Amino acid sequence: MFAELALPLATAGWATVATAAAAFLNRRLHTDELTGIGNRAALRRHARRFRRCGLVGALLIDLDHFKAINDTHGHEFGNDVLAAVAARLAENTAPGERAVRLHGDEFAVHLGHIGSRAAAKQRADEIAQVLAEPLQVRGQRLTALGSVGLAVAEAGAPLGELLGAADRRMYQAKHAQRSAVALAGRPRRVRDLPPQPDHAA
């Protein structure tokens, strides 16, 4: 950090340096070190901008079969995949939205204010389509599909509740995908049925 502030210190006053240092620390506090996009702290800060009236939405995204990528190619390659996914999410966020990495292979996109639940569903579908497009990582072409969970709530609802609802829907989507693969060509069994829908928004 001190090396990065050396040049400003030599050419500007202490007040300017202090401002630069504060901005630098603020960026560090709100940035995921691995991917360069926002982190959970950035998500909380972004969500506070949308406390008043209307609806807000959030997507929770968990990469499918990411452990297999790590096991096959190694953790450094896996980290590059996470960075590529993060970049794609950041590139495809609309004004008022914020993409962040929560932890591991789990990401979130806060949609900000949305006009309707249908509009939020459309954004969820668009993000899922973006994730389905192949990535180029270290000269290899691969697809890092993600299960996407959507939640919509009134503005001012606690962020934890919004993410919790999105998390439940994400796991429902993941379970449904696994069941569809497992049951291909076989009769459906009761234990293979996906969880019952969550009645929360």
pLDDT digits (tens, 9 = 90+) for 4-38: 555 555 555 767 766 766 666 667 789 999 999 99
What value does the mean pLDDT of the chain take? 84
Q: What is the pLDDT averaged over residues 158-177?
A: 92
Is 100 a residue whose pLDDT tops 70? yes
d(CA 143, CA 133): 6
Q: How many CB atoms lie within 10 A of CB 190?
A: 5
The residues near 107 (Cβ < 8 Å, ≥ 6 apart) are: 60, 61, 62, 85, 86, 89, 99, 100, 101, 146
pLDDT band at 114 (very low <50, low <70, confident <90, very high): very high
Q: What is the pLDDT of residue 175?
A: 81
Is 87 a residue whose pLDDT tops 70? yes
Q: What is the pLDDT of residue 7?
A: 55
Angle between helices 2-11 and 14-29 (to 10 degrees): 150
- 145, 174 in Cβ contact below 8 A? no
Is 196 a residue whose pLDDT tops 50? no
Sign of CA dihedral 92, 97, 99, 103: negative
Is 90 a residue whose pLDDT tops 80? yes
Q: What is the pLDDT averaged over residues 111-131?
A: 96
d(CA 32, CA 100): 8
d(CA 23, CA 21): 5
Share of the chain above pLDDT 90, in %: 68
